[in-house]
Structure 1
Amino acid sequence: MTDIPALPPSRPTPGPTSGIGVDTSRLASRANLEKAGKQFESVFAGMMLKSMRQAHLAEELFSSKGLDTFRDMQDQQVAQSMADHAPLGIGKAMTDFLAKSQANLQPESTSKPAGETP
């Protein structure tokens, strides 16, 4: 039988309970969470547009690297505009999901008086 060397003691990994290396300060306000939701929606819409462009449903008449670069920049702006003005709802869903764990980030509820029925 061979001797197996002992493993060095493991170091604690950073986690929510250890308090080491966890920065939750940006979750302190609902505005920050909503901004992250809009950014997520923008990234999602950009990925969707990029995927649609890669489908090549039609032959391109003119093709160049410059045109491809310009189209990518245009798609980024369209995705940002979509997230700002006509959101798909995925950013709001993510914001609401993340806000559930933070009691101070819950939107104001419209509670009805105790004796009132819908």
Structure 2
Amino acid sequence: RYAGYLRADGVAIVNRRRIVPVTVSAGNAKYPEDVEERLKTRFGRLILVDGGHLARETGNVRTENVVLLGTLSRFLEIPLRAWEGAIARLVPKRALEANLRAFSLGRKQVR
């Protein structure tokens, strides 16, 4: 939906999890079968992340966005220590370990 905002030399980080629009679930539209192929032809650099699967690996499915944040962090010139510090400040203590693991798993998606 926001693909037009990405620079030609930008990186698209896309979660593989399907989010079915109401129009599809109501039967008024069909979910495209070739989403990944369309994305590959549209973006010069595409990173597909199975955020849901990786979040489940942490034991906390609510860390899915942190997985994607970890992937994003590989492209920004912000020190790893700053990312981890921000997560530690913003995430409740009981969920900190899972979120730091999710962040690390996300970072590993970029080679």
User: Does the TM-score normalized on the shorter chain lie above 0.5?
Assistant: no
- Report the TM-score when normalising by structure 1: 0.30
- Report the TM-score, using the length of structure 2 for normalisation: 0.31
Task: Name which one, 1 or 2, has greater alpha-carbon Rg.
Answer: 1
In proportion to residue count, which structure has more strand? 2
Question: Which structure's relative contact order is higher, taking Cα pairs within 8 Å and 6+ residues apart?
Answer: 1
